[in-house]
Structure 1
Amino acid sequence: MKKGQNICDVESCFLCKNSLEEWKPAISAHKTTYKVKKGEVIFKEGDPVTGIYFVNSGCIKVYKKWDKDKELIVRFAREGSLFGHRGLGKGGFYPISAAALQPTVVCYVDIAFFEATLKVNSGFTYQLLMFLTEELKQSERKMRNLAHMPVKGRVAEALISLQNQFGITPDGFINIDLSRQDLASYAGATYETVFRMMNELVNEKLIDLSGKSIRLLNRDELLKLAQDIVFL
């Protein structure tokens, strides 16, 4: 990572917009801004925790090891979001990894200042609690789907989730340049299986492909696939 100009979008930054106005000079004094290249790893699973990151622009994938040479994407962190918080608490090591999906600018604060912010800013602490609660719900749903949902349904849900998070381009394609391997990691399946499922969805006229770009043609039918959970 390369240090960048100390800029911050106060209106969208999770740290700044939820902190007291009087605390913002302290944030400016303690934060460091970094420019991250596409594909660059910010920290790896097992690295010692040093601080928390906030996304200024771009997109980060947060992932865990899945088998020896595979990964499972837990979530995406976009503008205004944070990551690295899963390393808080006892242990002192990150249980996940984080890498940039595109050129990204992040702000970083060390653990000591982050903890001080929690103690001083009740509004920030409350919003962080709400964020963690929602993230826990999503993680529990993802684990349920991995156990009970067919791969085709997981792929359909992944595509719907991506469209919800990133929106669409003027041409109607999901507004993120995601590799098929990353899509497989997000759906919790192998590359080969996802490739086959994508071809089936194309043949059924539920999606359209143009290179890496994906367009949802029949969202209602994809939703039906995503809700088709069979409990054993």
Structure 2
Amino acid sequence: MKPSKIACDLKSCFLCKLCLKEWLPAVADSRKNFAVKRGDIIFNEGGPVTGVYFVYSGNVKVHKKWGDKELIIRFVKNGAILGHRGLGSDLQYPVTATALEPGLVCFFELDFFTSTLKVNHELTYQLLQFFADELQVSERKMRNLAHMPVKGRIGQALINLGKQFGFTAAGFIDIELSRQDLASYIGATYETLFRVINELTEDGTIEISGKQFKILDPEKLLRLTQDTGI
């Protein structure tokens, strides 16, 4: 990452939207903006927590080691918070964040972020709600890994990504996603995902163009998510 001459607009991210207006000058003085390229690591699993990041532009994947493989925890876009999983008594990042495309991130040192939470009660409350929602999503994902067949996990992933990122004018989910990243996101091997993706393409459920996915039959995709395998 390199320091960026382009600064965030102080109104797009999770923090700026929820801060008191009187606190924004302090935010402007304390922020550090960094330009990222595709593949840039924003912070590393196991590294010491120095602060938190917010995505101003570009998409990012959050992932962690899973044995000898990688498990993608979530994908995030502009406005999202990164590094919050490292808050607490341990102060080590339990995950890695990697840029999927060129973008801009905003960094706040830990002391300033802690002070911000103490002053801005609405931000603190919404962050608590965010943690609760994230925990529920993680629990559902672990249940799906244990009980849902790969087709269902692919269907659930594409449905969720469509809701999160929206769609292009051509109807594709608005995030470029390699097959390997999708496999890591649903907890499947590349070979299994490749085979199932081909089946879903051949039967007209989805369409693929490069690294983009289009849902052609949303009802069928939804039915696949209802098959728990038990």
Give the 5 Å matches for 1:145-156: 145-156=144-155
Q: 1:192 to 1:222 in 2, by over 3 A?
A: same
Tell me, yes or no, if structure 1 residue 72 matches structure 2 residue 75.
Answer: no
- Match in the other structure for 2:163: 164
SS in 1 for 2:63: strand
Structure 2 counterpart SS, 1:52:
strand
How far residue 229 of structure 1 moved from its aligned partner, in angstroms, is: 1.1
Distance 1:155 1:9 in 2: 36
RMSD of aligned Cα (Å):
1.1
In the alignment, structure 1 segments of 5+ residues that lack a partner are none
Q: In the alignment, is the contact (CA less than 8 A) between 1:6 and 1:32 conserved in 2?
A: no
Deviation at 1:5?
A: 2.3
Helix, strand or coil: the match of 1:64?
strand
Tell me the CA shift for residue 10 of structure 1: 3.0
TM-score by length of 1: 0.96
SS in 1 for 2:93: coil
Name the structure 1 match of 2:205: 206
1:93 aligns with 2:97: no
Q: Match of 1:43?
A: 43
Aligned-residue offset at 1:52: 0.2
Q: 1:105, 1:59 → 2: CA distance?
A: 10
Per the alignment, in what secondary structure is the counterpart of residue 90 of structure 1?
A: coil
The number of equivalent residue pairs is 230
2:56 aligned counterpart, secondary structure: strand
Cα distance in 1 for residues equivalent to 2:123 and 2:209 = 42
TM-score normalised according to structure 2 size: 0.97
AA partner of residue 229 (structure 2): V
Q: SS of the residue aligned with 2:5?
A: coil
Instruction: Verify the 8 A CA contact 1:148 1:230 in the aligned structure 2.
Output: yes
Cα distance, 1:140 vs structure 2: 0.7
Tell me which amino acid in the other structure corresponds to 2:9. Answer: D
Residues 15, 124 of structure 1: 8 Å contact kept: yes
Amino acid at match of 1:121: N
Whole-Å separation in 1 of the counterparts to 2:15 and 2:211:
33
Moved more, 115-124 or 8-17: 8-17
Q: Tell me the SS of whatever aligns to 1:228.
A: coil
1:61 correspondence with 2:69: no
The separation in 1 between residues aligned to 2:195 and 2:65, in whole angstroms, is: 23
Partners of 1:9 and 1:31 lie apart in 2 by: 11
Mark the runs of 5 or more structure 2 residues left unpaired by the alignment: none
1:213, CA displacement in angstroms? 2.1
Residues 208 and 215, structure 1, Cα contact 8 Å, conserved in 2: yes
**SS in structure 2 opposite 1:118?**
helix
Distance 1:58 1:6 in 2: 14
Check 1:213–1:77 CA distance in 2 against 1; reply closer, same or farther (3 A cut): closer
In 2: Cα distance, 1:200 partner to 1:6 partner? 45
Residue identity matched to 2:100: L
3-state SS, counterpart of residue 117 of structure 1? helix
| Equivalent in the alignment of 2:229 | 230
| Contact 2:56–2:103 (Cα < 8 Å) also in 1 | yes
The sequence identity of aligned pairs, in percent, is 57
CA distance in 1, matches of 2:211, 2:6: 34
